[in-house]
């Protein structure tokens, strides 16, 4: 089970990071997205400072949404997903490896670059740290929940509309608590509540979604 996990993880990472340039791509992407807002809203530093956490969170959301379709889509089209489903290994483990790889290639780079973005938006050092922490907890949730949506939408059977209706609203609480934690910290309020909520969501997602995704895949592959 560990062997298959390791193989699948390295497969996904190889695919995601065929070249060094690929790894950098998400980083650049976040920076570009973050640069769009000041262009549109204007250069007012105080305004940008308050918007900062929200913007960085939106960049995270967008980066995971943009790459969701490929999480299973490519494997579905070329038949490798079939082979995973009928392999003797537990499907949730394979799924978990794929989701982890997705996070490592889209979520983690974002977490890593977020201090720089925080600096650019003039956030205080401490607020920046809190932002990084929320992203560290929040982005895996995005990957996990996104995987459910991606699996269900594969062949687009059971009403695809339903899925985006399902996944995006699930993202919303993550987004809100994530961005709110930073704001509240800046305002001197307690943020333990936010963090424990985010943590609880992460744990729940970690435990439940691999199974949900596995069954969704079995259904979609018919």
Q: Name the site residues for its own copies (rule: CB under 8 A).
A: 15, 18-22, 24-26, 28-29, 32-33, 36-37, 39-42, 47, 50-51, 53-55, 57-58, 61-63, 65-67, 69-70, 77, 106, 153, 156-165, 168-169, 171-172, 175-176, 178-180, 183
Burial class of residue 73 (count of CB atoms within 10 Å of its CB; 0-12, 13-18, 19+): middle
Burial class of residue 32 (count of CB atoms within 10 Å of its CB; 0-12, 13-18, 19+): exposed
Per partner kind, with CB cut-offs from 5 to 8 A, the member of another protein, its own copies, none near residue 3 is another protein
Report whether 131 contacts 149 (CB < 8 A). no
Tell me: does residue 199 bind another protein (CB under 8 A). no
Q: Which is nearer to another protein, 193 or 199 (CB)?
A: 193
Tell me: does residue 84 bind another protein (CB under 8 A). yes
> DSSP state, 46?
H
Tell me: does residue 87 bind another protein (CB under 8 A). yes
Per partner kind, with CB cut-offs from 5 to 8 A, the member of its own copies, another protein, none near residue 103 is none
Contacts of 104 (CB under 8 A, 6+ apart): 13, 16
CB of 173 to another protein, least distance (A): 4
Per partner kind, with CB cut-offs from 5 to 8 A, the member of its own copies, another protein, none near residue 26 is its own copies
**Interacting positions 105-164 with another protein (CB under 8 A):** 119-120, 122, 145, 148, 152-153, 155-158, 162
Per partner kind, with CB cut-offs from 5 to 8 A, the member of its own copies, another protein, none near residue 210 is none
Tell me: does residue 196 bind another protein (CB under 8 A). no
Tell me: does residue 66 bind another protein (CB under 8 A). no
Tell me: does residue 4 bind another protein (CB under 8 A). yes
Tell me: does residue 188 bind another protein (CB under 8 A). no
Rounded CA gap, 80 and 160, in Å?
22
Structure tokens at 45: 């530093």
Question: What value does the CA radius of gyration of the chain take, rounded to a whole number of Å?
Answer: 18
Rounded CA gap, 180 and 169, in Å?
17
The helix/strand/coil state of 86 is coil
Rounded CA gap, 26 and 107, in Å?
9
């Amino acid at each position: 089970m560990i062997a298959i996990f390791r193989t699948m993880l390295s497969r996904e990472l190889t695919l995601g990071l065929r070249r060094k340039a690929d790894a950098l791509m998400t980083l650049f992407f976040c920076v570009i997205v973050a640069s769009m807002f000041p262009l549109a809203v204007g250069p007012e530093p105080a305004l940008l400072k308050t918007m900062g956490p929200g913007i960085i969170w939106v960049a995270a959301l967008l980066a995971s949404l943009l790459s969701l379709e490929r999480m299973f889509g490519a494997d579905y089209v070329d038949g490798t997903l079939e082979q995973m489903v009928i392999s003797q290994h537990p499907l949730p483990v394979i799924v978990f490896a794929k989701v982890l790889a997705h996070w490592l290639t889209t979520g983690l780079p974002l977490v890593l670059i977020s201090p720089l973005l925080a600096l650019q938006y003039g956030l205080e050092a401490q607020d920046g740290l809190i932002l990084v922490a929320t992203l560290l907890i929040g982005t895996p949730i995005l990957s996990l929940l996104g995987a459910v949506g991606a699996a269900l939408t594969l062949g687009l059977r059971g009403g695809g509309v339903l899925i985006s209706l399902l996944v995006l609203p699930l993202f919303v609480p993550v987004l809100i608590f994530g961005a709110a934690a930073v704001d509240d910290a800046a305002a001197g309020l307690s943020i333990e509540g936010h963090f424990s909520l985010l943590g609880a969501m992460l744990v729940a997602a970690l435990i439940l979604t691999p199974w949900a995704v596995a069954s969704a895949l079995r259904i979609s592959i018919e």
